[in-house]
């Protein structure tokens, strides 16, 4: 089978299962009262996205021998939870657009966005409970732990915005909590709902965790590498906003003299001007940090792939492999 043919096969499965989750999400809140609460909740959960977290749940259930349909509600739950984080993060980041649409606090108002986000947490639990086994305690504990880690990660992220000295280890801890913990949680919950053994749950958790870290590092890379039109957001946005990304921290670590002073100025000035992006991209090139980051992405992806080698279900294992490789090659 050629690479193209198998890609199509996996894309088809992804798309088929994604549509099942979409359908569940789209029908969930229609007509619920009060409209002032449920319309904004519906606005965000129906606004699309890759639904990768839902897929991690479904594939993890499949990996331990269950059918996809055993975890559709749980898959919807993690997407709802992810959307809650987007709504509240967009307030904190003063973001006015998301997926090409106005963010919730812009379309409605601050109070509505806070309240809709809160309600989404409860709606997420409500859906998770529908797919949880009678002995639901551990599933719920895993989910709850995931929410706390996301909050902790977001808190570190906000902290790092104003903190002058942030190490690469600090940064990895932050993205582990803010992004990777949720992916790890998805794999754990899918495997638990599917009835997996402790060792099966553990290997799938490792996949989610490492995939999540690779995903975020790739995001950092794409910000400076991306094609402005294809990527959909401005190139070098992280530098403009003065974000301490992996690339930036690695550059700072390797730099001396003039380059170091230029990088320290980004911290002192809390960002750069748009017309300075090219200059900083040159510094990144000179210090070879784009390559360093790409190597990290490859290493974390390889780690993720190693951990699912023993997955017995062929389709799940192949889908996990395809998914990790697709994310590695993604342009946005």
Distant-in-sequence, close-in-space partners of 275: CB < 8 Å, separation ≥ 6: none
Could you give the string, one character per residue 122-161, with x where binding to its own copies holds by CB under 8 A and - elsewhere? Answer: xx-xx--x--x-xxxx--xx--xx-xx--xx-xxx-xx--
Of 331, 315, 329, residue with least CA distance to 10: 315
The structure tokens 């990790």 sit at 324
Mark the segment that binds its own copies (CB under 8 A) among 57-65, 114-122, 231-239, 259-267: 114-122
Distant-in-sequence, close-in-space partners of 229: CB < 8 Å, separation ≥ 6: none
Q: Can you tell me the distance from the alpha carbon of 187 to that of 207, in angstroms, rounded to the nearest whole number?
A: 8
Which member of 88, 98, 244, 317 binds its own copies (CB under 8 A)? 88
Strand residue runs (E) in the chain: 97-98, 101-102
**Closest separation between CB of residue 82 and its own copies, Å?**
13
Q: Can you tell me the distance from the alpha carbon of 261 to that of 279, in angstroms, rounded to the nearest whole number?
A: 13
Which lies closer to its own copies via its Cβ, residue 17 or residue 42? 42
Binding of its own copies at residue 70 (CB under 8 A)? no
Which lies closer to its own copies via its Cβ, residue 41 or residue 203? 41
Could you give the string, one character per residue 240-279, with x where binding to its own copies holds by CB under 8 A and - elsewhere? Answer: ----------------------------------------
Token pair listed for 141: 């504990």
Binding of its own copies at residue 95 (CB under 8 A)? no
Could you give the string, one character per residue 18-57, with x where binding to its own copies holds by CB under 8 A and - elsewhere? Answer: ---------------xx-xx--------------------
Radius of gyration of the chain (CA): 20
DSSP notation for 240-252: HTT---HHHHHHH
Q: Can you tell me the distance from the alpha carbon of 313 to that of 196, in angstroms, rounded to the nearest whole number?
A: 12
Binding of its own copies at residue 117 (CB under 8 A)? yes
**Closest separation between CB of residue 173 and its own copies, Å?**
10
Determine how many CB atoms are found less than 10 A away from the CB of residue 172: 18
Token pair listed for 111: 């109070």
Determine how many CB atoms are found less than 10 A away from the CB of residue 238: 22
Binding of its own copies at residue 114 (CB under 8 A)? yes
**Closest separation between CB of residue 123 and its own copies, Å?**
7
Which member of 118, 292, 313, 318 binds its own copies (CB under 8 A)? 118
Assess whether the previous peptide bond of 34 is cis (omega < 30° from 0): yes
Binding of its own copies at residue 77 (CB under 8 A)? no
**Closest separation between CB of residue 84 and its own copies, Å?**
8
Compute how many residues bind its own copies; rule: CB under 8 A: 40
Which lies closer to its own copies via its Cβ, residue 5 or residue 134? 134
- Counting beta carbons within 10 angstroms of the beta carbon of residue 249, is it exposed (0 to 12), middle (13 to 18) or buried (19 or more)? buried
* Site for its own copies, rule CB under 8 A: 33-34, 36-37, 84, 88, 91-92, 110-112, 114-115, 117-119, 121-123, 125-126, 129, 132, 134-137, 140-141, 144-145, 147-148, 151-152, 154-156, 158-159
């Amino acid at each position: 089978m050629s690479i193209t043919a198998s890609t199509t096969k996996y894309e088809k499965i992804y798309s088929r299962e994604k549509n099942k989750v979409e359908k569940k999400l789209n029908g969930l809140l229609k007509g619920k009262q009060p409209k002032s609460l449920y319309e904004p909740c519906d606005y965000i959960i129906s606004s699309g996205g890759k639904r990768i977290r839902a897929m991690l749940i479904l594939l993890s259930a499949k990996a331990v021998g269950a059918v996809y349909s055993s975890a559709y509600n749980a898959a919807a739950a993690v997407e709802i939870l992810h959307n809650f984080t987007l709504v509240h993060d967009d307030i904190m980041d003063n973001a006015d657009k998301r997926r090409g649409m106005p963010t919730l606090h812009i379309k409605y108002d601050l109070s509505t966005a806070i309240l809709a986000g809160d309600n989404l947490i409860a709606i997420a639990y409500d859906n998770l409970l529908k797919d949880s086994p009678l002995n639901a305690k551990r599933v719920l504990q895993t989910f709850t732990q995931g929410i706390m880690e996301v909050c902790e990660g977001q808190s570190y992220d906000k902290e790092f915005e104003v903190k002058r000295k942030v190490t690469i280890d600090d940064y990895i801890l932050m993205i582990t909590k803010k992004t990777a913990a949720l992916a790890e949680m998805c794999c754990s919950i899918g495997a638990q709902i599917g009835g997996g053994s402790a060792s099966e749950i553990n290997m799938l958790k490792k996949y989610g965790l490492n995939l999540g870290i690779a995903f975020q590092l790739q995001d950092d890379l794409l910000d400076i590498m991306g094609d402005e039109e294809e990527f959909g957001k401005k190139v070098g946005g992280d530098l403009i906003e003065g974000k301490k990304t992996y690339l930036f921290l690695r550059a700072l670590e390797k730099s001396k003299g003039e380059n170091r002073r230029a990088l320290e100025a980004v911290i002192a000035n809390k960002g750069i001007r748009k017309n300075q992006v090219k200059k900083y991209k040159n510094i990144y090139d000179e210090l070879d940090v784009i390559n360093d980051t790409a190597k990290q992405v490859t290493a974390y992806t390889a780690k993720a792939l190693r951990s699912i080698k023993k997955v017995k279900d062929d389709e799940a294992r192949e889908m996990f492999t395809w998914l990790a490789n697709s994310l590695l090659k993604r342009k946005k």
